């Protein structure tokens, strides 16, 4: 039983990592840019929701605050691309990496100055409630994380395979220039992708902050999500989620059964090992450029 609960809380954590990873795989797939601030987007999303919900701030109804904060973060992602990244079209990938790292610093400062430097929890209507199916004690927050992540995955799958704009995004990712010639507004698509990934970050943030406390430096969690994305090979949405789950499970298991300190370094060690030995991810087949 104890073991099962360990697994479930690991899965819940893993879903959050997976969602963050999903956010930057989205961006990477569609724009070739890597958002080193995705974890900070998540943190910002959580704080925006805390700002709407918690009674010391605005005290709105939780179920109103969540869609609001998702919208706010969507707008934030869209405007970030429209206002800043769009002007860097054509600069090297390294500059974009550096720029997003710098954005992370700014977001952390902004969140700390606007809300709080102290660990803060999101006040949810389901806080502390538990489900007890067959002797297990499951926090509603943890169950919710798993359910929401599953639903989001399904939604994204349908979005990319069925909708016009989803297909356009895929086209833009596979060949920017050709997509441009086909009349796909590549730059607007980029902004939309950034908006979308802002929204995913908000969801991840809300889920994370409802389960535990969050503070501005929580954004550094994004690096664990890099490990998740690396396991999935950076280009795959389901791979990112699966990678998140693996990292989420490794942490508590290593803490329980491994020597002390291992659980702390495990995600980064995995990231390093994967980059060295399987840079294409553990599920990928290598691709070759045609003609």
Partner 1 sequence: MRYVFKTSYDADIRLFKHRAQAVWYGLLLLLVLATPLYFVAIGDAYLLGEITGVLILAIAGMGLMLLTGHTGLPSLGHATFMAMGCYVNINLLGAGVPWVVAFPLSGLIAGAFGTLIALPVLRLHGVYLALATLAMSILTSDFVVMAEPWTGGIAGAAVPDINLFGIEINRYATPYKFYYLVLFVAILLVWFYRNLLRTPTGRSFTAIRDSEISARAMGINLTRTKATSFFLSATAAGLAGALFGHSAGYVTNETFDLVMSITLLLMIVIGGLGFIHGAFFGAIVVGIIPVAIANGRSFLATTFDVNINVPGLESALFAFILVCFILFEPMGLYGRWLKIRTYFELFPFYRKDMFKRQKSYLKTDRIQ
Partner 2 sequence: MSLLDIQNITLKFGGLVAVDNVSLAVEKGEVFALVGPNGAGKSTIFNLISRFYDPVAGTIRFDGHDLLQNAADQVPGFGIARTFQNIELFEQATVLQNLLVGRHRHRQTGLLSNIVFSPKAYREEVRHREAVEEVIDFLNLQPYRDKMIGGLPYGVRKVVELGRALASEPKLLLLDEPASGLSVEETQDMAFWIEDIQTQMGISVMMVEHDMGLVSAVSDRVMALSDGKELAMGIATEVQSHPAVIEAYLGTGEVSKTGTSRA
Q: Which residues bind partner 1 (CB under 8 A)?
A: 32, 34, 84, 87-95, 97-99, 101-106, 108-110, 112-113, 117, 176-177, 216, 220, 223, 226-227, 230, 234-235, 261, 264-265, 268-269, 271-272, 275-277, 279, 287-289
Q: Which does 129 bind (CB under 5 to 8 A by kind): partner 1, partner 2, none?
A: none
* Residue 132 binds partner 2, judged by CB under 8 A: no
* Residue 288 binds partner 2, judged by CB under 8 A: yes
- HEC-encoded secondary structure of the chain: CHHHHHHHHHHHHHHHHHHHHHHHHHHHHHHCCCCCCHHHHHHHHHHHHHHHHCCCCCCCCHHHHHHHHHHHHHHHHHHHHHHCHHHHCCCCHHHHHHHHHHHHHHHHHHHHHHCCCCCECCCCCCCCCEECHHHCCEEHHHHHHHHHHHHHHHHHHHHHHHCHHHHHHHHHHHCHHHHHHCCCCHHHHHHHHHHHHHHHHHHHHHHHHHHCCECHHHHHHHHHHHHHHHHHCCCCHHHHHHHHHHHHHHHHHHHHHCCCCHHHHHHHHHHHHHHHHCCCCCCCCCCCCCC
Q: Which does 291 bind (CB under 5 to 8 A by kind): partner 1, partner 2, none?
A: partner 2
Q: Which is nearer to partner 1, 164 or 289 (CB)?
A: 289
Tell the smallest beta-carbon distance from residue 121 to partner 1 (Å).
Answer: 20
Using CB under 8 A, which of the segments 57-65, 193-201, 250-258, 283-291 binds partner 2? 283-291
* Residue 1 binds partner 2, judged by CB under 8 A: no
- For residues 140 and 133, give the distance between their C-alpha atoms in angstroms, rounded to a whole number: 12
CA 185 to chain centre: 25
Q: Which is nearer to partner 1, 18 or 104 (CB)?
A: 104
Structure tokens at 27: 């961006």
Q: Which does 223 bind (CB under 5 to 8 A by kind): partner 1, partner 2, none?
A: partner 1
- For residues 281 and 139, give the distance between their C-alpha atoms in angstroms, rounded to a whole number: 33
Q: Which is nearer to partner 2, 178 or 275 (CB)?
A: 178
Q: Which is nearer to partner 2, 55 or 289 (CB)?
A: 289
Tell the smallest beta-carbon distance from residue 238 to partner 2 (Å).
Answer: 25
* Residue 290 binds partner 2, judged by CB under 8 A: yes
Tell the smallest beta-carbon distance from residue 65 to partner 1 (Å).
Answer: 25
* Residue 177 binds partner 2, judged by CB under 8 A: no
Tell the smallest beta-carbon distance from residue 214 to partner 1 (Å).
Answer: 16
* Residue 92 binds partner 2, judged by CB under 8 A: no
* Residue 162 binds partner 2, judged by CB under 8 A: no
Unique residue bearing structure tokens 């995004």: 169
Residues near partner 2 (CB under 8 A)? 288, 290-291
């Amino acid at each position: 039983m104890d073991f099962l609960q360990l697994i479930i809380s690991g899965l819940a954590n893993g879903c959050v990592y997976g969602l963050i990873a999903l956010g930057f795989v989205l961006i990477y797939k569609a724009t070739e840019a890597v958002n080193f601030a995705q974890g900070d987007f998540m943190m910002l999303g959580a704080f925006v929701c805390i700002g709407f919900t918690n009674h010391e701030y605005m005290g709105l109804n939780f179920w109103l605050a969540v869609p609001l904060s998702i919208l706010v973060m969507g707008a934030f992602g869209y405007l970030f691309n429209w206002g800043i990244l769009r002007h860097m079209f054509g600069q090297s990938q390294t500059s974009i990496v550096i720029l997003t790292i710098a954005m992370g610093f700014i977001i952390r400062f902004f969140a700390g100055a606007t809300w709080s430097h102290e660990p803060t929890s999101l006040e949810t209507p389901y806080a502390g409630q538990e489900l007890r199916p067959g002797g297990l004690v499951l926090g509603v927050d943890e169950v919710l994380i798993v359910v929401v992540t599953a639903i989001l995955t399904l939604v994204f799958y349908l979005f990319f395979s069925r909708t016009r704009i989803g297909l356009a995004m895929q086209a833009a990712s596979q060949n920017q220039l050709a997509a441009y010639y086909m009349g796909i507004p590549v730059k607007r698509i980029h902004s939309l992708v950034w908006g979308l990934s802002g929204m995913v970050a908000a969801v991840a943030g809300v889920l994370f902050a409802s389960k535990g406390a969050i503070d501005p430096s929580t954004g550094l969690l994004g690096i664990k999500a890099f490990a998740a994305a690396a396991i999935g090979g950076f280009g795959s949405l389901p791979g990112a989620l699966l990678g998140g789950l693996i990292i989420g499970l490794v942490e508590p298991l290593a803490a329980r059964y491994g020597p002390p300190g291992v659980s702390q370094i495990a995600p980064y060690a995995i990231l390093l090992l994967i980059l060295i030995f399987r840079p294409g991810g553990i599920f990928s087949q290598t691709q070759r450029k045609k003609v």
